[in-house]
Amino acid sequence: MSSTGESSSSVLLSGNEAIAQGAREAGVGVATGYPGTPSTEILEALVRSDPDRDVYVEWSSNEKVAIDVALGAAIGGTRALVTMKHVGLNVASDTFMTAAYTGVRAGLVVVSADDPGMHSSQNEQDNRFVARFAGVPLLEPSDSAEARDLTVAAFEIAERFDTPVLLRTTTRIAHARALVSVRPARRPDRGGFRRDRPKYVMLPGFARQRRIVLLDRLAALAEYAETSPLQRVELGDLSVGVITSSIAYQYVREALPEASVLKLGLTHPLPARLIRDFCSRVERVLVVEELDPYLEDQIRALGIAVEGKRFFARAGELGPDSVRAGLRLAGAVAETAAPAAQQSPPTTPRPPLLCPGCPHVVPFLALRQLGAVVTGDIGCYTLAASAPLEAMDSCVAMGSSIGMAIGVRRSGGASAPVVAAIGDSTFMHAGIPALVDAVTNGTDLTVLILDNGTTAMTGGQAQPGTGSTIRGDPSTRIDLAALCLALGARSAEVVDPYDVAATHRALEKAVASSGVSVVITDRPCVEAPVKVRDTPFAVVAERCIACQLCMNLGCPSIVWDGGLYEGRRRVRIDASTCTGCAVCAQLCPTEAMVPLTGTAAGDGR
Amino acid sequence: MGARSGSVLVVGVGGQGVVLSSAVAADAARRCGFDVKQSEVHGMSQRGGVVTSHLRYGDAVHSPLIAAGEADAIVALEWNEALRALPALRPGGTLIVSVERILPPSAFLDRLHGALRYPPIAVDLLRGTVPDVRACDATAVAARAGDRRAMNTVLLGVLSRVMPFSETAWDDAIVANVPPKALGANRAAFAAGRALQADDARRALARLARSDEGGDARRAAASLEIVDAWCKGEMCGICVRSCPEYCLGFDAEATAVRVTRADACTACGLCELLCPDFAIVVHPAVPA
C-alpha cells in the first residue's frame, strides 16, 4: 500500500502499465498477446518502456499463437509474458492446459484480464477456475502496486516450481491508476534452449509421467501458499473476519477498516492451514469476492462454515456501494440511514456508436436492404446490431460468424441470404479455418470481410493486414483477397465501402452466386493508425426535404438542428466531427449535402 | 473519508478529454503528497459513449471507485452526462458543468414527431437540488483562451478553486500530462477557468434554445395511395429501397408495392418524389 511519505518516489500507473513495469523489472525477454479489453495496454506500455528493444514484443495473430510463442520462448530459456482478455484464454487454453504438464524452464506468466460487468466483453467468465482446472498457480493483485509486485513474484514462482503462472486481473485493476514505486528494468537473461524430450514432447508415455509431476508440483505449491508473503493476515476486530482477494479487498477495507481480513494474493492452490487458522481466530467468516463463489466453495469444502454469495451478487462488477450493502445485509456494518442521494433527472441514453466516417456503415446498410440473415463477429462493427442499422443477428465469439453462417444455412431455417460479417483482424484470428470448412464442405455462403487495416475496437493495434508490427516496423501485409481465393472461395471482390452503389452491387451479386463468395470492403479505420479528416460536408438547408434517409446511417455528425421542412426536422452536419466520407451525400435524394469548400473545419453553425 | 481526502468524478462523452482531465487532477493530487487512485473504463466507451473517470485522494486510498453520494465534486464536460452523474454527488458537493450539448443519434429516434430526446438545459432549475452549480460555456472560454479543444482544462481551472491542491501542483501536472504543442493553450484555458467568477453560460444557453426551436409536431400517420397498374413492383423497387422508415414492401406476387409499416410513415414524400411511374401519392394526415 502506498503512503504519503513515499509518494514522491512513486509514479501513477494503471494496472496494465504496472504489469509491464513488473515484467521489465523481472527481465522479461519475450512478450506476446492479442489485443482485448481490458488487457491491451500491457504490451503497449512494455514497448514504450523499451526503446532499446531488449524485449521481443509481438501482437500475435491470436491468443493460441501468443501462448505458443511465449511457451517456446520460456523453453528457449528467456522469461516470457503473454497477455489476453478473459475470453482470449479460451482460445489459448489448448496450450495452457498442457503447458502445465511440460513446465516452462524460464518463467512463463500468462495474464488474463477478466471483465466483470462486461464493460467491453461478451461474457463475464471467472478465469480463476481455469487456473484450478489446469493446475497452475493463480495470482490476483488488488491494485497497481500489487500488479507490479505480483508480476515480479509470478516469474519467480514460475521458475521455482517450473510451471506457467496465471496472473488474473479485472477491468478495475487493469484500468485503475494508483501509485507504484518502480525499480530499474533488467535486461533479459538468455538461458539457452536445453533439449529435454520427456519433458516437452507430450506423447502419451511422457505425458503420463508429467501428469504425476504436475500433481506433485501442486502439492508443493499448496505448501508454499501457506507461508507465501503474497498472503496477508490483517488482524483487527475479531467479531468478523473477511476472506477476500483482488479488487474486493479494497472495497472491504474501505467499508470495514477495523475488521480482520485474510487477503489472498495467491489464490490457487489455496492455503488450507492458513485459512483454518484465520477462521479459528474470528467469530464469523465472510467471503467477499467478485463473480463466482470460487473461494467460498473451496473453503466450505474444507469444512469451514463461511458465508458469501448470500450477501454479494454473483453477476456483475462489485463496487464500494454493493460491498457495503452486502456487509450491511450480513450485519457486519451498522445499519445506517443511506444519505439522501441526488436523483438523476431523465437523461438520453448514450450507447457506443460507429464513428463519423466509419467504413463499416455502408455494407450493413446494404445487408439490411437485402434482408440478409447476418451472423456477426467481434469488433466495432458489432454495433451494427443496434439502431438505426439493425443489421446483425448474432455475435458470439471471435471468428464464430462464418461457422455459424454455415450452420444457419444448413439448418434450412433461413429463407433470406445468409451472410457472415467479420472484421479483418477477427478473420485472421479465427475466421480462416471456418472459411476452409465452408469451401471444403461445399456450403453456399457469402462472407463479408470488413477490412479497415487495424484492430479498431481495442484502439488500433497492428494485425496481419496492417503491414506493420507493434513497434511500428514495416512487415509483410497479408493480402486478404488472394488468401480467400487460395482457400477456394469462388470470388473475392474488393470494394470501397464509401462507394454506396458499388458496395450494394457487390453484396447483391455475392448473395446470388453459389459456392463461397467473399466481399472485402477496403477502407482504413478513420481513427487509427491515422485520423482520417477529409473536407467536411455541409447541408444546404433549403434543399433538405427532411426525409431522414441520411439518419439511417446513424452518423454522429448528422444532427437535428437545421430547422423544419413541412413540420419535419431538417438535418445539419457538424463540420467539426465530419470526416468527409461523402456517404450521406450519395444517399441524399435532393443533393443537399455538399463539401464545405473554402472553410476550415469549424463548428459549421 | 477524512479531512485530508476527497473525490472527484469527471464525466463526458468519448473524445472530449475526460481521461486527460482526470489524469491531470490525479497528478496534481500526487504532487501535493496524497495517495491517489483513479479509475476509468476504456473500450467500447471510446466509440461516442459515456466516459467517466473516478479520482480519489487522501492519506491512504483503497477503493478506486467513488461510492454513490460521496463525490465532493463532479466535473461534467457535457450537460446530459452531468445529469446522469448527479447521484454520485454528496449533499453540498460542487457540480462544475459546461453547457455543452452533444446529441447522440438516440436523441433522434422519434422521427414521427420530431421530438428531440434530450433533457432541457436548465441550470437555474438544477440549483434547486444542487446549490453549488458552476456552469460555463467551457468551449467558448477555451476558444477565447486560444483553442476550443482545451475546454476540459477550463473546467479543471474551475475545479482548482474547490480542491486543496497548490497552483504549482496544477501547473506541473498540466506540463507533465498535456502534449507540448497544446501546452500554451491549456495553460491559458486553465487560467481562464480559474478566473471565472460567476456563471458564464448565458450566451450559450440562449444559442442552444434558438437551435432547438420547432419540432415535436404531433402528427397522425399518413396514408399512401399506390396505383397498382402503374407500379412495376420488384422490377423497380426504388421506393422500397429508399424509404427512410422501411415502410414499403411488395405484394405476394411482387408485382406491386405495399405499405408494410404504415405506423412509421412520416409522410416525407420521398417515395412519391422518386417513383419513375407516378404510381404513389402520399396523403399527409389532416389534423383533426
CATH of A537-595, picked from 3.30.910.10, 3.40.50.1100, 3.30.70.20, 1.10.1840.10, is 3.30.70.20
Give the DSSP letter string of A487-501. Answer: TT-SEEEEE-TT-HH
Distances (CA, A) of A48 to A236, A485, A541, B200: 42, 38, 48, 41
List pLDDT tens digits, range A274-297. 999 999 999 999 999 999 999 999
- Mean pLDDT for A578-584 is 97
- Mean pLDDT for A351-369 is 94
pLDDT of A365 higher than 50: yes
Q: Do A321 and B119 touch (CB under 8 A)?
A: no
Q: Which residue has the cell 412519391?
A: B272
* B147 in reach of chain A (CB within 8 A): no
Distances (CA, A) of A140 to A227, A263, B8: 16, 10, 27
Task: Suggest the residue from B40, B44, B74, B273 to mutate for an interface test with chain A (most A CBs closer than 10 A).
Answer: B44
The whole-angstrom separation of Cα B261 and Cα B248 is 7
* B117 in reach of chain A (CB within 8 A): yes
Grouping H, G, I as helix, E, B as strand and the rest as coil, residue A159 is helix
Distances (CA, A) of B117 to A366, B101, B113, B140: 28, 12, 11, 25
Give me the pLDDT at residue B31, please. 95
For residue B87, the tally of other CB atoms under 10 A from its CB is 13
Provide the shortest C-alpha distance from residue A287 to chain B (in Å).
18
Provide the shortest C-alpha distance from residue A338 to chain B (in Å).
9
- Mean pLDDT for B179-184 is 95
Sequence-ordered strand ranges (E) for A15-157: 30-33, 56-59, 80-85, 108-114, 138-139
Residues of chain B with C-beta less than 8 angstroms from the C-beta of A347:
80-81, 83-84, 119
Strand A564-565 versus strand A572-573 pairing type:
unpaired
pLDDT band at B124; cut points 50, 70, 90? confident
Name which of B40, B59, B107 is nearest A348 (Cβ-Cβ). B107
Residues of chain A with C-beta less than 8 angstroms from the C-beta of B213:
563
Residues of chain A with C-beta less than 8 angstroms from the C-beta of B84:
344, 347
- Mean pLDDT for A577-587 is 96
Terminal Cα-to-Cα distance of chain B (whole angstroms) = 61
Query: What chain A residue is nearest to B173 in terms of C-alpha separation?
Result: A12
Name the DSSP letter for residue A428: I
- Classify domain B223-283 by CATH architecture: 2-Layer Sandwich (3.30)
Interface list for A 276-335 with B (CB within 8 A): 319-321, 324
Terminal Cα-to-Cα distance of chain A (whole angstroms) = 52
Name which of A37, A556, A560 is nearest B48 (Cβ-Cβ). A556
Name which of A172, A179, A342 is nearest B30 (Cβ-Cβ). A179
Return the closest-CA partner of residue A548 out of B285, B80, B47, B113.
B113
The whole-angstrom separation of Cα A49 and Cα A46 is 5
* A63 in reach of chain B (CB within 8 A): no
pLDDT of A477 higher than 60: yes
- Cell numbers for B240, please give them: 422500397
Residue B76 one-letter amino acid: A
Grouping H, G, I as helix, E, B as strand and the rest as coil, residue B1 is coil
List pLDDT tens digits, range A55-93. 999 999 999 999 999 999 999 999 999 999 999 999 999
Residue A239 one-letter amino acid: S
Query: What chain A residue is nearest to B12 in terms of C-alpha separation?
Result: A350
Give the distance from CA B182 to its chain's centroid.
Answer: 24
* B164 in reach of chain A (CB within 8 A): no
Give me the pLDDT at residue A338, please. 62
List pLDDT tens digits, range A372-424. 999 999 999 999 999 899 999 999 999 999 999 999 999 998 889 999 999 99
Give the DSSP letter string of A66-98. Answer: HHHHHHHHHHTTS-EEEEEEHHHHHHHHHHHHH
Contacts 24+ apart (CB under 8 A), A233-239: A233/A260, A233/A261, A233/A262, A233/A263, A233/A274, A233/A278, A234/A260, A234/A261, A234/A262, A234/A263, A235/A260, A235/A281, A236/A260, A236/A261, A238/A281, A238/A282, A238/A283, A239/A282, A239/A283, A239/A284
Give me the pLDDT at residue B49, please. 87
List pLDDT tens digits, range A547-556. 999 999 999 9
The answer to whether B226 and B257 are in contact (CB under 8 A) is yes
Percent over 70 (pLDDT), chain A = 96
Provide the shortest C-alpha distance from residue A372 to chain B (in Å).
14
What CATH topology corresponds to A4-227? Answer: Rossmann fold (3.40.50)
Query: What chain A residue is nearest to B13 in terms of C-alpha separation?
Result: A350
* A172 in reach of chain B (CB within 8 A): yes
List pLDDT tens digits, range A534-543. 999 999 999 9
Query: What chain A residue is nearest to B16 in terms of C-alpha separation?
Result: A577
Phi, psi (rounded to 5 degrees) for A269? -75, 155
pLDDT band at A603; cut points 50, 70, 90? very low
**CATH number assigned to the domain covering A231-329:** 3.40.50.920
Q: Which residues does residue A49 pair with via DSSP β-bridges, in sequence order?
A: none
- Mean pLDDT for B98-127 is 89
Question: Could you confirm whether domain B6-211 is CATH 3.20.190.10?
Answer: no
Interface list for A 455-484 with B (CB within 8 A): 457-459
Residues of chain A with C-beta less than 8 angstroms from the C-beta of B219:
567
pLDDT band at B114; cut points 50, 70, 90? confident
Name the DSSP letter for residue A170: E
The answer to whether A116 and A316 are in contact (CB under 8 A) is yes
- Mean pLDDT for B166-172 is 97
Q: Do B67 and A459 touch (CB under 8 A)?
A: no
Give me the pLDDT at residue B201, please. 66
Q: Which residue has the cell 419513375?
A: B276
Provide the shortest C-alpha distance from residue A405 to chain B (in Å).
25
Give me the pLDDT at residue A352, please. 86
The answer to whether B174 and B186 are in contact (CB under 8 A) is yes
- Mean pLDDT for A189-204 is 96
Rg (CA), chain A: 27
Sequence-ordered strand ranges (E) for A217-269: 231-234, 237-245, 259-264, 266-268
Percent over 90 (pLDDT), chain A = 88
Name which of B67, B242, B269 is nearest A320 (Cβ-Cβ). B67
pLDDT band at B123; cut points 50, 70, 90? confident
Sign of CA dihedral A569, A572, A573, A577: negative
* B247 in reach of chain A (CB within 8 A): no
Grouping H, G, I as helix, E, B as strand and the rest as coil, residue B150 is helix
Cα torsion B195, B198, B199, B203 to 10°: value is -90
Phi, psi (rounded to 5 degrees) for A98? -90, -20
Q: Do B65 and A171 touch (CB under 8 A)?
A: no
The answer to whether B9 and A346 are in contact (CB under 8 A) is no
Domains in chain A: boundaries: 4-227, 231-329, 361-522, 537-595
Distances (CA, A) of A352 to A171, B14, B183: 18, 9, 30
Q: Do B244 and A549 touch (CB under 8 A)?
A: yes
Phi, psi (rounded to 5 degrees) for A170? -130, 170
Task: Suggest the residue from A547, A565, A578 to mutate for an interface test with chain B (most B CBs closer than 10 A).
Answer: A547
Residues of chain A with C-beta less than 8 angstroms from the C-beta of B269:
545, 547
Residues of chain A with C-beta less than 8 angstroms from the C-beta of B267:
566
> How many Cβ pairs within 8 Å bridge chains A and B?
234
Q: Which residues does residue A56 pair with via DSSP β-bridges, in sequence order?
A: A30
Give the distance from CA B217 to its chain's centroid.
Answer: 24
Percent over 70 (pLDDT), chain B = 88
A17-46 burial by CB neighbour count: b if 16+ within 10 A, else e?
bbbbbbbbbbbbbbbbbbbbbbbbbbbbbb
* B234 in reach of chain A (CB within 8 A): no
Phi, psi (rounded to 5 degrees) for B16? -80, -20
Residues of chain A with C-beta less than 8 angstroms from the C-beta of B47:
352-355, 380, 383
Name which of B45, B60, B106 is nearest A1 (Cβ-Cβ). B60
Give me the pLDDT at residue A1, please. 40
Name which of A37, A341, A555 is nearest B87 (Cβ-Cβ). A341
Question: Could you confirm whether domain A361-522 is CATH 3.40.50.970?
Answer: yes
- Cell numbers for A258, please give them: 477495523
Q: Which residues contact A480 (CB under 8 A, 6 or more apart)?
A: A424, A427, A449, A451, A465, A492, A520
Interface list for B 69-98 with A (CB within 8 A): 69, 80-81, 83-87, 89-91
- Cell numbers for A56, please give them: 521481443
| Preceding amide of A524 cis, omega within 30 | no
Task: Suggest the residue from B22, B35, B40 to mutate for an interface test with chain A (most A CBs closer than 10 A).
Answer: B35
- Cell numbers for A156, please give them: 519467480
Average pLDDT, chain A: 94
Q: Do B111 and A355 touch (CB under 8 A)?
A: no
The whole-angstrom separation of Cα B282 and Cα B273 is 10
Give me the pLDDT at residue A458, please. 87
Provide the shortest C-alpha distance from residue B191 to chain A (in Å).
24
3-state secondary structure A570-590: CCEECCCCCCCCCHHHHHCCC
Give me the pLDDT at residue A444, please. 95
The whole-angstrom separation of Cα A521 and Cα A364 is 11
List pLDDT tens digits, range A235-280. 999 999 999 999 999 999 999 999 999 999 999 999 999 999 999 9
* B264 in reach of chain A (CB within 8 A): no
pLDDT of A597 higher than 90: no
Comparing A4-227 with A361-522, is the CATH topology the same? yes
Helical pair A15-25 and A41-48, crossing angle rounded to 10 deg = 50
Q: Which residue has the cell 460536408?
A: A537
Task: Suggest the residue from B10, B20, B63 to mutate for an interface test with chain A (most A CBs closer than 10 A).
Answer: B63
Give me the pLDDT at residue A7, please. 38
Provide the shortest C-alpha distance from residue B259 to chain A (in Å).
16
Sheet holding A30-33, edge to edge: A56-59, A30-33, A80-85, A108-114, A164-170, A138-139, A266-268
Domains in chain B: boundaries: 6-211, 223-283
List pLDDT tens digits, range A207-246. 999 999 999 999 999 999 999 999 999 999 999 999 999 9
Give me the pLDDT at residue A12, please. 94
Name the DSSP letter for residue B228: T
Q: Up-side HSE of residue B260: CA atoms within 13 Å toward CB?
A: 13
- Cell numbers for A243, please give them: 476472506
pLDDT band at A3; cut points 50, 70, 90? very low
Q: Per mean pLDDT, which range of A87-101, A195-209, A414-428, B100-114 is the poorest? A: B100-114
pLDDT band at B1; cut points 50, 70, 90? very low
List pLDDT tens digits, range B187-208. 999 999 999 876 666 777 776 6
* A177 in reach of chain B (CB within 8 A): yes
- Mean pLDDT for A471-484 is 95
Query: What chain A residue is nearest to B207 in terms of C-alpha separation?
Result: A605
Residues B203, B207, B209: CA angle, nearest 5 degrees: 115
Name which of A10, A120, A339 is nearest B43 (Cβ-Cβ). A120
